[in-house]
Amino acid sequence: MLPYEILLNIFFSCKNLANKDILSKSDPMIELYMNDTFIGRTEKVKNNLNPSFSTPIKVTYNFEKLQNLTIKIIDVDNDNNNTGDNLGNVKTTLGELVSQEPGTAFTLPVNDGKGTISMTYEEIIPSIRKTLTSDYVALGNGLVTQEVKKGSSYKIVVDKFIINAKGIDLEKKDLFGKSDPYYYIYRLIGGNKILIYKSEIIKSNLNPIWKTTEIYTENLDTNCFSQGQKYWIEVYDYDKYGSDDLIGEVELEDLFYEISPDGQEFRGELTDKSRKNKYKKRGEIVLNITHTVNIKEETVNSYKVISNYTFAKNLKAYPNLQSTVSFIDAMKMGMKLNVICAVDYTSSNGSMHDVVAHTMNPYQTALSAVGQVLEPYDHDKKFSFLGYGGHKNGEFPPYFTVGETEQVDGGIQGILETYARTRDMIKMGDMGTAKGGDMDWRANNGKYYCDDFYQIINAISDKAENDMMTKFPPGSHQLPSDYYIIFFVIDGDGFDMDGTIRALVRASSLPVSIVLIGVGDGSFANLSKFDADGMPLTVDEVSTIRDIVQFVKFNECKTDGTVDMIKLAAEVLAEIPTQVETFIGLYGCNIVNNV
What is the per-residue pLDDT for 475?
78
Alpha carbon distance 157, 383 (integer Å): 40
Quick one: pLDDT at residue 291?
Answer: 94
pLDDT at 70: 97
- Residue type for 251, please? E
Question: Domain 327-495+507-520+548-582 is of which CATH architecture?
Answer: 3-Layer(aba) Sandwich (3.40)
CATH 2.60.40.150 fits 6-129, yes or no: yes
Cα separation of 391 and 435, whole Å? 11
What are the E-state strand segments in 404-527?
A: 407-408, 426-428, 482-490, 512-518
| Domain 155-297 CATH superfamily | C2 domain (2.60.40.150)
| Distance (Å, whole) CA 511 – CA 582 | 10
pLDDT at 443: 62
Q: What's the rounded Cα separation, in Å, for the pair 179 and 237?
A: 5
The residue type at 358: H
Dist. CA 511–CA 471, nearest whole Å? 13
CA distance from start to end of the chain: 30
Residue 321 has what pLDDT? 85
- Ranges assigned E (strand) in 389-471: 390-392, 400-401, 407-408, 426-428
CB 283 within 8 A of CB 235: yes
For the chain, give percent helix, strand, coil, nearest 5: 20, 35, 45
Q: What is the rounded distance in angstroms from the CA atom of residue 495 to the CA atom of residue 451?
A: 7
Q: Is 276 strand, coil or helix?
A: coil
* 3 state SS of 497: helix
Strands (E), 263-408: 264-269, 284-299, 304-307, 336-344, 383-388, 390-392, 400-401, 407-408
Predicted TM-score (pTM) of this structure? 0.80
Mean pLDDT of all residues belonging to the chain:
88
What pLDDT does 2 receive?
A: 58
DSSP readout, 167-222?
EESPPP--TTS---EEEEEEEEETTEEEEEEE----SS-SS-BPPPEEEEGGGS-G
Q: How far apart are CA 385 and CA 401, in angstroms?
A: 6
Select from 198, 200, 205 the least CA-distant residue to 173: 205
| Per-position b or e across 458-486, b if 16+ CB within 10 A of its CB | bbbbebbbebbeeebebeebbbbbbbbbb
Residues of the chain with CATH 3.40.50: 327-495+507-520+548-582
Give the DSSP H/E element, type plus range, for residue 76. Answer: strand 68-78
- Residues in the chain predicted with pLDDT less than 50, given as ranges, are none
Instruction: Give the separation between CA 25 and CA 543, rounded to whole angstroms.
Output: 65
Question: Quick one: CA torsion of 341, 347, 352, 356, rounded to 10 degrees?
Answer: 90
Question: What is the SS3 assignment for 374?
Answer: helix
- In the chain, list all ranges with CATH 2.60.40.150: 6-129, 155-297
As a whole number of angstroms, the distance between CA 50 and CA 383 comes to 38
**Length, in residues, of the chain:** 595
Q: How many helices (H) and strands (E) does the chain have?
A: 10, 31
Alpha-carbon 186 to chain mean position = 28
Identify any residues that bridge with 256 across adjacent strands, giving them in sequence order: none
Dist. CA 515–CA 499, nearest whole Å: 18
